[in-house]
Amino acid sequence: MFQMSIRPGSAVAAAPAIAATASEYSSDDILVERIAAGDKLAMQVLFARHRTDVYRWLLRFVGNETVAEDLLSDVFFDVWQQAGRFEGRAAVTTWLLSIARFKALSARRRRTDVELDETIEATVADSADDPEIALQKKSRNELLRQAISKLSPDHREILDLV
């Protein structure tokens, strides 16, 4: 009997995967059409299908789990609102990632409170004097004022000019 073995990387093995991918893209297009018509189940299916990939992409881009989760919600909320505008010129995945990219870039621009970690904190110099140094400076300044006050008016005028 004839036996055929298919290596995982061969073109024959890839054919079913390509067919599955093509049907997935066309089913994504149908889902977006149904979402545009207000179908909540279609939205749930699209979300379940793409949330992990979009979340991982967002997480790599923003580097913060909480922000990535918030942006993921924003992305799919936009999908719900803008599904009627999807023209099908690109794959739904491409459309989702372009929305995610726009959201992530906007979040980066808005983000002003950057957390300091210990390595950054150690490299930032503290310009404020500690209490001991502040007291030493105050004492030195007081001693200088006292010494200047003991000078003759002519000598004080020369110091003021310098």
Yes or no: say if 38 and 86 are a contact pair by the CB < 8 Å rule.
Answer: no
CA distance 126 to 134: 14
Position 33 scores a pLDDT of 93
Q: What is the pLDDT of residue 48?
A: 94
pLDDT, residue 50, reads 95
Rounded Cα–Cα distance for residues 40 and 30 (Å): 13
Predicted pLDDT of residue 38: 93
- The domain locations on the chain are 11-113, 129-161
pLDDT of residue 6: 39
Give this prediction's pTM. Answer: 0.54
Fold annotation for 11-113? Rna Polymerase Sigma Factor; Chain: A (1.10.1740)
What's the Rg (C-alpha) of the chain?
A: 33
Q: What is the pLDDT along the chain (162 residues), one digit of tens a residue?
A: 444 443 444 444 444 444 444 455 458 999 999 999 999 999 999 999 999 999 999 999 998 899 999 999 999 999 999 999 998 889 999 999 999 999 999 988 886 555 666 666 666 666 677 788 888 888 888 888 888 888 888 888 787 777
Q: What pLDDT is attached to residue 70? A: 94
Nearest-angstrom CA–CA distance, 34 and 14: 30
Task: Note the pLDDT of residue 3.
Answer: 44
Backbone torsion region of residue 38, taken as left when φ is above 0, otherwise alpha when ψ lies between -120 and 50, otherwise beta: left
